[in-house]
Structure 1
């Protein structure tokens, strides 16, 4: 049994993910608990479920990503749906998510070769406290072992004895055997550590392993055979995980790669049938082994990958996509995807969605607390879906400080132009039919001047009384003198005051879909 804790979210996008599976006929809502009156007169909509969880979570506004989303699966179909549901309830109780009143959604999925459930709830308990999440993944594995009655240390000892029966010529090869069994192995100061489930399960002297080293396999015919097999299945695989699965299922050979997932520097072949370990470099270079597709084919996969990201998180921004694409040595910019010197425009619906999400991200940086603020910001940033913008439960403390500072400016009768003073403070004035706003684009602040009771008459520009400037010249005697020249005044104020750099004018805010500018 496996429990995979999936990423958190502030907008509970896991509901949309599961409900889309339901609409495609590959999942169903198996259980709903503690959602008040929702579902009394029919199946609640996804939006209703999201709103309920957001309202429930708002009792603790310190938690930004309150979604708890976990997938529980078994091997094949060895467990029935009812047995999986019973296990899920035990698991949630042990993890602290089963107190009376805790909202809970359980979905059953049928789109893979193994029975699995998806559970969605909040990380906030019914009393408003945050549910403990320290060492969450390690605790999750311990809970599974406890429920199933697994003795992980005993199993580790048995697997180590089995690994010692293999033919290996180095610690790296012994490590490859253990890794193929699902363990993490490392050695330090002459001691070998065997780790599983987030904990060290066994320690043994390195000398015990070194005593088992045997001469490496020199069968050239076998190496040529393995190279031919690898090439054949490389050409029909989409990536190294697909290739690994084919080799394990068809030949009982585990491919154990070394390095980071996106920077593999080597591999071993663990032949379980013959209990031997072979160094991959003696079979086929890792660069050739992992060369699966042409750039054009990779662009197809990258585009599908972006589409899946948008499906899982409809509000994902270009910056977030960029971070995920870096592992594939690709990136997107202004609706175009780039990879290995090749480029291709994204499908219009994806490019438009990403551009919209970039703009939504800018709006949410201002943390609007009212629909009026949100609507004004959406107008500024040209967001045509205000309903997708999350509202902050209440204004931050800094909002009050800013209002007080603006009152000082408005109340200063000695100030010449209030609007100029606001500009010096980094604010520009924006208006709609109902209110006037002061907006600071650098600090991401928006103040509803109308709602806060400011004297808007003070915003009217006063005439500038400028002294003539002296312009250098020369007298008849040849000595330089300064000539008085009246400054030009067209009644439009200073050039600085009219610098409309903000979004909506000529400035660079049309460039906000550049992933590099959206670090949050």
Structure 2
């Protein structure tokens, strides 16, 4: 049996709430008492009922919210409507609302799976005094226990002994077991208090609970089963209350949330079938557990969000999008959305835009300072929308350092092949419409060698100087490679010898390398 005392009000809005349900056919006014002549000749309207209650309550102007509204219900249909109405009369009498002349409205509701009534009256007694309401909720539970003959302390003892049979490794897990049984549990100093019906029913030394701690339950197979169950029933539930009910009914599993009712920060799984408690984070993140949408709806939601990001920032890249959607446990790669082990292609226009933006970002890493530099880089990285690429007129210090380094190479007469030296520095030479560029793809630097007035003649092939010999020196006698005295390999050893190039034919002149270098992408 549960009696819930609902908020009071100045205008008796509970009448409108119940009458609205009557108009919908899911409630019925089953009793009206002490409303004078109302209801004698015709069915009273909601405004007439409210008017009478307000006039009656005006006997005591000091009571700011005179409405008394409560709901009383039983488990399922273990009590009939008439039996529950009789119980309600006993309850109201013991709570102080059963005096002769006290106005009373009783509505029966049919929109739930259990028999329940709503009762409306005034907190003003027929003689104008205020009806006692101190510790009202606690007295309410005591009255219910007295009528039903319940021994709540004995029941609490029984449930604590039952909880002690579970495997739990912390006070929070013990608390979760008791909460799943309908108790409120808290620790103060060195004691644990077990509360029910607004009253502490049992006080236990914390050390007694601590002595029952066992190593954390870590059976991976059961955790995988629970993860599958939670996700399956989450996808067919509309809210966490419905999910809790389904899991309790079908599997004997209680989900106990911690934190605010509308924004819990975590939860415990009380697995009654195995008498264990598992921290929810080991099974499924709380955000994922409370994501009450179908997989198709989740993909649509993620895709809509990406569309919004592209609208707000037409140049947003794949990496930037990932940083936004990873909170939704999703990511995109090569035009595919990945979420919770499933995947779905992005809409083509989005995939193309993101791929284009990734290429634009690669171009902008070079900080092109002129339209010519921008256009060349767009050509290399296959960016068709050059208008979307930003030009950076201010040269970076990386650019200045690179130019200075290249001048050292060009001005060094001891360098026989400038082109080879540039390659060693990481630069590729590119000719474009009579303009020569040096591009470093690793360091993202582009230098217009023509504009910077480099001596481009030094990039051409250098003539090979003949080896000067001493005129008295006899020319070396050629030795046949097949001669018995010839060595097939250098004396230094195997294929990793520092002179290995002698064996296969050394080629360190890059002058013959085509200017049109392909770029691995």
Query: Distance between the aligned counterparts of 1:181 and 1:119, measured in 2?
Result: 27
Q: Which residue of 1 aligns with 2:184?
A: 184
Query: Distance between the aligned counterparts of 1:66 and 1:188, measured in 2?
Result: 36
Counterparts of 1:498-513 in structure 2 under 5 Å? Answer: none
Q: Deviations over 1:293-317 (max 9, x none)?
A: 49xx99xxxxxxxxxxxxxxxxxxx
Query: Distance between the aligned counterparts of 1:39 and 1:265, measured in 2?
Result: 51
Q: Which residue of 2 aligns with 1:81?
A: 81
Q: Which residue of 2 aligns with 1:242?
A: 242
Q: Which residue of 2 aligns with 1:109?
A: 109
Q: Which residue of 1 aligns with 2:34?
A: 34
Q: Secondary structure at the match of 2:75?
A: coil
Q: Which residue of 1 aligns with 2:253?
A: 253
TM superposition shift of 1:29: 1.3
Q: Secondary structure at the match of 1:265?
A: strand
CA RMSD of aligned residues (A): 1.7
Q: Deviations over 1:124-147 (max 9, x none)?
A: 111111111111111111111111
Q: Which residue of 2 aligns with 1:456?
A: none
Counterparts of 1:260-275 in structure 2 under 5 Å? Answer: 260-275=260-275
Q: Which residue of 2 aligns with 1:211?
A: 211
Q: Which residue of 2 aligns with 1:141?
A: 141
Q: Which residue of 1 aligns with 2:174?
A: 174
Q: Secondary structure at the match of 1:209?
A: helix
TM-score of the aligned structures, taking structure 1 as reference length: 0.55
Consecutive unaligned residues of structure 2, counting only runs of 5 or more, are 299-521
Q: Secondary structure at the match of 1:22?
A: helix
Query: Distance between the aligned counterparts of 1:141 and 1:264, measured in 2?
Result: 27
TM superposition shift of 1:20: 1.9
Deviates more, 1:136-145 or 1:212-221: 212-221
Counterparts of 1:10-409 in structure 2 under 5 Å? Answer: 10-293=10-293
TM superposition shift of 1:42: 2.3
Runs of at least 4 residues of structure 1 off by over 3 A? none
TM superposition shift of 1:223: 0.9
TM superposition shift of 1:242: 1.5
Query: Distance between the aligned counterparts of 2:50 and 2:172, measured in 1?
Result: 49
Q: Secondary structure at the match of 1:131?
A: coil
Q: Secondary structure at the match of 1:266?
A: strand
Query: Distance between the aligned counterparts of 2:111 and 2:22, measured in 1?
Result: 11
Q: Deviations over 1:415-461 (max 9, x none)?
A: xxxxxxxxxxxxxxxxxxxxxxxxxxxxxxxxxxxxxxxxxxxxxxx
Q: Secondary structure at the match of 1:172?
A: helix
Query: Distance between the aligned counterparts of 2:7 and 2:186, measured in 1?
Result: 28
TM superposition shift of 1:218: 2.0
Query: Distance between the aligned counterparts of 1:111 and 1:218, measured in 2?
Result: 42
TM superposition shift of 1:117: 0.8
Q: Deviations over 1:351-380 (max 9, x none)?
A: xxxxxxxxxxxxxxxxxxxxxxxxxxxxxx
Q: Secondary structure at the match of 2:18?
A: helix
